[in-house]
């Protein structure tokens, strides 16, 4: 059974989320502040976090930043602010999805299920690929560069592994969104560009002579490598 950490200071909303999630087979933990959320995360290590942006002792962005320093646990942001800038801020900060209030309980459950599906094992192959100092285990989802593990957000890892599974193939933004974010994603395709930018930053130190995440103008992105 998957455990969901609900971080929401409005008790009524928290209870509604708890009821819908438990009805659909999830166990839940409730926190009502950022401080409680960080403690609950450290204690219970949930499978996914529903994180409200507006909290009584700060904001969800700070909680997300703290969690991302040590974990790639999937996070869905909840907020009454529907402005696209807030959506982009959440995705840029490492959130996996974004739901605006007011929302329908069934939609939240569907989003949780979709994010968990995308966070599960993507590849059945146990092959390990190595390109110079970059080593990719498609089974364990581990990426090492120069002998050190590379840390990605869950979404960035999914984008990178999808590209790595198809080396030297070009994918448009729309194809990446469909395969990584899912066909139900209704956000901006700029999320793809932001993910690629973060992935490149994480891979700084990987020699361009061994490979690169290449932009093909007007076409899309490609994991361009030289296989031996």
Domain coordinates of the chain in residue numbers? 3-119, 128-225
pLDDT at 23 over 70: yes
pLDDT digits (tens, 9 = 90+) for 11-20: 999 999 999 9
pLDDT digits (tens, 9 = 90+) for 58-76: 888 889 888 887 777 889 9
Q: Could you give the 3-state DSSP secondary structure of residue 150?
A: coil
Q: For domain 128-225, give the CATH number.
A: 1.10.10.10
198, two tokens: 């973060």
Q: How many whole angstroms separate alpha carbon 140 and alpha carbon 155?
A: 16
* 97: number of Cβ within 10 Å: 26
Per DSSP, what are the bridge partners of residue 149?
Answer: 144
- Helix H or strand E segment including 34: helix 34-44
Question: pTM of the entire structure?
Answer: 0.58
pLDDT digits (tens, 9 = 90+) for 144-184: 998 889 988 888 998 999 898 888 899 999 999 988 888 77
Superfamily (CATH H level) for 3-119: Response regulator (3.40.50.2300)
């Amino acid at each position: 059974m998957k455990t969901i950490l609900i971080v929401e200071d409005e008790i009524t909303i928290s209870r509604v989320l708890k009821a819908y999630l438990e009805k659909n087979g999830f166990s839940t933990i409730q926190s009502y502040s950022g401080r409680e959320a960080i403690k609950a995360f450290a204690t219970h290590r949930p499978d996914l976090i529903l994180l409200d942006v507006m909290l009584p002792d700060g904001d969800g962005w700070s909680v997300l930043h703290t969690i991302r320093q040590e974990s790639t646990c999937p996070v869905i942001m909840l907020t009454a602010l529907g402005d696209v800038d807030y959506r982009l801020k959440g995705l840029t900060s490492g959130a996996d999805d974004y739901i605006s209030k007011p929302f329908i309980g069934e939609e939240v459950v569907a989003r949780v299920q979709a994010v968990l599906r995308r966070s599960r094992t993507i590849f059945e192959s146990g092959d390990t690929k190595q390109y110079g100092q970059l080593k990719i285990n498609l089974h364990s989802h581990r990426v090492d560069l120069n002998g050190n593990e590379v840390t990605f957000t869950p979404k960035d890892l999914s984008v990178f592994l999808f590209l790595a599974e198809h080396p030297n193939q070009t994918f448009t933004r729309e194809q990446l969104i469909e395969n990584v974010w899912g066909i139900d994603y209704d956000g901006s395709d700029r999320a793809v560009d932001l993910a690629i930018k973060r992935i490149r930053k994480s891979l700084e130190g990987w020699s361009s002579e061994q490979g690169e995440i290449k932009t093909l103008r007007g076409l899309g992105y490609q994991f361009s490598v030289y296989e031996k």
